[in-house]
């Protein structure tokens, strides 16, 4: 009987928490309230900035914020067109450049807090290359991949019967799961390792975002080729848990015609 009740509760929670990713229309599980997830994200972002050295190069900082703001505006437009304008209020955009030439990475927390590392700038080369990266990372936040991964972690660790209790009362436990899922280290702040499905989804949505922001989505192909060349026999951190480079580039090429419809 207990097993049956647990199964029924778990099924009910799954049905209540089911959502759809914009553009791809993939069904996804989101059990964490946006308000709680965003609050944790903002705190994590603040902690990472305190532990990091921010770039004082005005030209590079301005580039990151210039491109970031255009991607942000495009993402809000995209949400309106997807009938998700209610999500816009959750984004408090912030773009910072962290001084670390050894790290070719970038990430976007839920709620629009973005960090770019100076190590990726030689690979982005210009505003359009940077738009590829930032469009991809913002797409992760828009698709709420973090919520999906945390929801999966909650289900595994807590089980169906204790899930609602954990979400409503055990804030410390929820925060612990958040910290584990997002894995922000003391030296390198990175988002949780997304699955290949999430990465491919972010590639596709990111192409649309950069196109809507006025950047040529066809430039995504040479950027990912440069990232692949940098990886050598071992992929750089930015590519960990990502699809095989050849597969990724092939998929991106297949999505470019879709993105070009939005290119201004």
Q: Which residues are catalytic?
A: 137
Q: Cβ of 69: how many Cβ atoms within 10 Å?
A: 13
In sequence order, the β-bridge partners of residue 107 are 115
Question: DSSP assignment of 109-163, as one string?
Answer: ETTTEEEEEGGGHHHH-SHHHHHHHHHHHHHHHHTTHHHHHHHHHHHHHHHHHHH
Strand partners, 114: 95, 108
Please state, as a whole number, how many other Cβ atoms lie within 10 Å of the Cβ of residue 11: 11
DSSP state of 23: T
CA geometry: angle 140, 145, 146, nearest 5 deg? 105
Cβ atoms of residues 196 and 64 within 8 Å? no
Q: In the numeric block, which tokens belong to residue 171?
A: 């804030």
Residue 102's CB is within 10 A of a number of other CB atoms, namely 11
Which of 98, 217, 207 shows the shortest CA–CA distance to 142?
Answer: 207
């Amino acid at each position: 009987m207990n097993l049956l009740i647990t199964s029924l509760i778990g099924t009910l929670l799954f049905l209540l928490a089911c959502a759809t990713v914009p553009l791809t229309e993939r069904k996804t599980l989101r059990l964490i309230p946006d308000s709680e997830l965003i609050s944790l994200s903002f705190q994590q972002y603040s902690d990472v900035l305190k532990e990091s050295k921010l770039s004082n190069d005005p030209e590079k900082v301005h580039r990151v914020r210039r491109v970031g703001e255009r991607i942000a505006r495009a993402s809000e437009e995209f949400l309106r067109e997807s009938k998700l304008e209610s999500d816009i209020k959750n984004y408090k955009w912030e773009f910072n450049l962290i001084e670390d030439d050894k790290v070719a990475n970038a990430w976007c927390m839920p709620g629009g807090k973005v960090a770019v590392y100076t190590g990726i700038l030689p690979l982005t080369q210009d505003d359009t290359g940077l738009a590829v990266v930032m469009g991809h990372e913002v797409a992760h936040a828009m698709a709420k991949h973090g919520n999906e991964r945390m929801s999966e972690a909650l289900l595994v660790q807590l089980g169906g019967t204790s899930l609602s209790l954990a979400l409503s009362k055990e804030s410390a436990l929820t925060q612990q799961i958040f910290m584990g899922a997002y894995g922000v280290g003391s030296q390198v702040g990175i988002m949780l390792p997304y699955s290949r499905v999430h990465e491919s989804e972010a590639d596709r949505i990111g192409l649309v975002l950069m196109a809507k922001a006025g950047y040529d989505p066809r430039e995504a192909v040479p950027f990912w080729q440069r990232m692949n060349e940098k990886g050598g026999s071992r992929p750089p951190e930015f590519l960990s848990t990502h699809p095989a480079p050849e597969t990724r580039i092939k998929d991106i090429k297949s999505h470019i015609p879709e993105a070009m419809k939005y290119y201004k």
